[in-house]
């Protein structure tokens, strides 16, 4: 029976315990967690050891605040997957499932995002969770990226932000987004199916190389990153940082955007 050992230590880890666990993992490697307490000389259960390593001591863990593109990706992935934190964290290098879960619950939970946000997962991009005002199909030239330019009036800088096919901003400040720009309507479903079934991502960059055009549907009600002041290009609701797009720049060219 699990957890039956008496007087196993609980609560916050001491520096000494951390060192013992670290030394043990460095010597024997990750895994075989049931052996770790005895190997390390720790009076902790295997779960506690595993958790301490995977959520805190592992040197691959990325520290510090979540970047804008990470936040956008969390929103987008949560919209597709629901509370499958480990899967979401798997798309964020260096972030743990616990980190993502904690961040979402404190910063992005239902009360703290736009009222139209639907936390229920879905895999069909034709039924986006955000309210659709008016679809605006665009044809982009080969190898081009859809980009919104947002002016920050406070710092007098311009930020480039890319778009995904189902009206959620996926990144900002030069994040690598090519994998999330799906050329056709069903590609996102295929991409996720492939990821779920085979644990592999379909490489859309290669697909784009063999295509003449990328079709991208631009929908209304854009989610704008909190840190941006996009008042030049977007009407922002100061309360919740959601607004309608007024101007859309693609490859430096102004495109028409039809608001309701």
Partner DNA sequence: AAATTATACAACCGCCGCATT
Partner DNA sequence: CAATGCGGCGGTTGTATAATT
Which residues form the interface with DNA (CB under 7 A)?
Answer: 1-3, 9-13, 31-35, 46-48, 50-52, 55-56, 83-87, 97-99, 101-103, 105-107
Q: How far apart are CA 165 and CA 144, in angstroms?
A: 14
Q: How far apart are CA 40 and CA 19, in angstroms?
A: 9
Task: Please report the DSSP string for 68-113 in residue order.
Answer: HHHHHHHHHHHHHHSS-HHHHHTTSTT--HHHHHHHIIIIISGGGS
The nearest distance, CB 11 to DNA, in angstroms, is 5
Nearer to DNA by Cβ, of 83 and 124: the residue is: 83
The nearest distance, CB 137 to DNA, in angstroms, is 34
Nearer to DNA by Cβ, of 55 and 184: the residue is: 55
The nearest distance, CB 236 to DNA, in angstroms, is 21
Nearer to DNA by Cβ, of 5 and 205: the residue is: 5
Nearer to DNA by Cβ, of 8 and 133: the residue is: 8
Nearer to DNA by Cβ, of 13 and 182: the residue is: 13
160 backbone φψ class: left, alpha, beta (φ>0; ψ -120 to 50) = beta
Angle 123-129-132 from CA coordinates, rounded to 5°:
120
Name residue 242's beta-bridge partners.
223
The nearest distance, CB 102 to DNA, in angstroms, is 4
The nearest distance, CB 230 to DNA, in angstroms, is 22
CB-side neighbour CA atoms (13 Å) of 11: 3
* Pairing of the two strands 136-141 and 157-163: unpaired
Element (H, E) at 206: helix 204-209
The nearest distance, CB 84 to DNA, in angstroms, is 4
Nearer to DNA by Cβ, of 6 and 12: the residue is: 12
């Amino acid at each position: 029976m699990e957890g039956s050992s008496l007087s196993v230590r609980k609560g916050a880890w001491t520096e000494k315990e951390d060192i013992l666990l670290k030394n043990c993992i460095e010597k024997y490697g990750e895994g075989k967690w049931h052996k770790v307490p005895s190997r390390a000389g720790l009076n902790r259960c295997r779960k506690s050891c595993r958790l301490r390593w995977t959520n805190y001591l592992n040197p691959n863990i990325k520290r510090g605040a979540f970047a804008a593109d990470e936040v956008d990706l969390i929103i987008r992935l949560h919209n597709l997957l629901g509370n499958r934190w480990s899967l979401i964290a798997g798309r964020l290098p260096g972030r743990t499932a616990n980190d993502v879960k904690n961040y979402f619950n404190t910063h992005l939970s239902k009360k703290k995002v736009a009222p139209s946000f639907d936390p229920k997962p879905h895999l069909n991009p034709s039924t986006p969770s955000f309210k659709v005002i008016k679809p605006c199909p665009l044809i982009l030239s080969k190898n081009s990226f859809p980009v919104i330019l947002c002016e920050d009036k406070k710092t007098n800088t311009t930020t480039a932000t890319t778009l995904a096919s189902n009206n959620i901003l996926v990144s900002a400040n030069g994040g690598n987004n090519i994998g999330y720009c799906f050329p056709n309507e069903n590609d996102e479903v295929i991409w996720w199916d492939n990821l779920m079934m085979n644990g592999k991502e379909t490489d859309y960059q290669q697909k784009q190389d063999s295509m003449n055009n990328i079709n991208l549907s631009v929908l209304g009600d854009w989610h704008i990153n909190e840190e941006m002041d996009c008042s030049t290009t977007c009407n922002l609701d100061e309360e919740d940082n959601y607004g309608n797009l007024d101007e859309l720049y693609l490859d430096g060219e102004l495109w028409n955007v039809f608001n309701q």
